[in-house]
Amino acid sequence: MLTVLFDGVAYGMLLFILSCGLSVTLGMMNFVNLAHGAFAMIGGYATAQLMNEAGVPFLACLPVAFLIAAVLGLVLERTLYVRLYRKSHLDQVLFSIGLAFVAMSTMDYFFGAQQRLITLPDFLRGQFEVFGARIGVYRLFLIILCGLITIALQLFVSRTRIGSQLRAAVDDARVAGGLGINVSRIFAGTFAFGSGLAGLGGALGLDLLGVDPVFPIKYMIYFLIVVTVGGTRSMVGPFIAALIIGVADVAGKYYVPQVGAFVIYTVMVVILMIRPEGLMGRRATR
């Protein structure tokens, strides 16, 4: 029982780590960035290459994955994304899908179509028992890391000056600009940060999911589920959503394997029926 709960939480954290970058770009900046998975993929490839070809230790790869994706995000934001903030969501969909296609083919060209995998260092593998529950080390690592990221982000957005400038800039860019906030710099920084988180997610998910050129499309559904169910206006929402979905999914599969595959979708539809704006949503996004 406890083991199932723990696994559910850990699975939820995996979903969260993959999606938290998206909850920054889609949630905070209100940009439908379907290329989110592409940034995660870049982070994954960077980690796989560094570990397998250059022998860089796993933990050292994580910041690199973050940085590479963030820099790439910054460059793309300045050159391309910046022109699309004012366009419709549907334009953003077309644009970011196009970008994802380009990224997928590019990775395919350089790294081939086959899956890339890594082997975790020994101290992150295996499991131990606490109160009869089996705790996987890497899962525990994911849970702690995700918890920290969520708390830090939430504090950053709600307590710091830059955080409130960001909220102001998203709510009404013109007024925020009039108040002397450098909107374009805030957006660029936030976008780069969101992309970096995506890259980190790709790196952390690598052990379980591997990475291949179709990564951005393959897991897009999961990113979107977490962010939508969580509500797009905070970091805590997606975090709780990921927890609920993870636990429900794992418990469903363990106790009633016959309907296992339906659980995650049912949970999503039901939550969205009850709370159309998501768990933590306050009002309709424009």
Instruction: Please report, as residue ranges, which positions from 90 to 119 form the binding site for other proteins (by CB under 8 A).
Output: 90-91, 93-95, 97-106, 108-109, 112-119
Considering the complex, state which of residue 91 and residue 171 has its C-beta at the smaller distance from other proteins: 91
Helix or strand run (H / E) with residue 76:
helix 58-79
Number of residues that bind other proteins (CB under 8 A): 80
210 alpha carbon, distance to own chain's centre? 16
The verdict on 254 binding other proteins (CB under 8 A) reads: yes
The verdict on 201 binding other proteins (CB under 8 A) reads: no
Interface stretch with other proteins, choices 54-62, 87-95, 149-157, 169-177 (CB under 8 A): 87-95
Considering the complex, state which of residue 161 and residue 286 has its C-beta at the smaller distance from other proteins: 286
Site for other proteins in 145-174 (CB under 8 A): none
Report, in Å, the least distance between residue 80 CB and other proteins: 7
Report, in Å, the least distance between residue 111 CB and other proteins: 10
Q: Which of 7, 16, 186, 202 binds other proteins (CB under 8 A)?
A: 7
Burial label for 65, CB within 10 Å (0-12, 13-18, 19+), is buried
Interface stretch with other proteins, choices 141-149, 162-170, 196-204, 278-286 (CB under 8 A): 278-286
229: left (phi over 0), alpha (psi -120 to 50) or beta: alpha
Report, in Å, the least distance between residue 225 CB and other proteins: 7
DSSP secondary structure, 121-149, as one string: -GGGSSEEEETTEEEEHHHHHHHHHHHHH
Site for other proteins in 38-57 (CB under 8 A): 52
The verdict on 138 binding other proteins (CB under 8 A) reads: yes
The verdict on 260 binding other proteins (CB under 8 A) reads: yes
Which position has the token pair 């409130």?
Answer: 164
Site for other proteins in 170-189 (CB under 8 A): none
Report, in Å, the least distance between residue 237 CB and other proteins: 13
Q: Which of 53, 83, 132, 161 binds other proteins (CB under 8 A)?
A: 83
Burial label for 259, CB within 10 Å (0-12, 13-18, 19+), is exposed
- Between CA 163 and CA 234 the distance in angstroms is 12
- Between CA 207 and CA 212 the distance in angstroms is 13
Q: Which of 232, 215, 270, 267 is nearest to 246 (CA)?
A: 267
Cβ 125 vs Cβ 131: under 8 Å: no
The verdict on 212 binding other proteins (CB under 8 A) reads: yes
First-residue to last-residue Cα distance in the chain: 42
Considering the complex, state which of residue 57 and residue 126 has its C-beta at the smaller distance from other proteins: 126
The verdict on 242 binding other proteins (CB under 8 A) reads: no
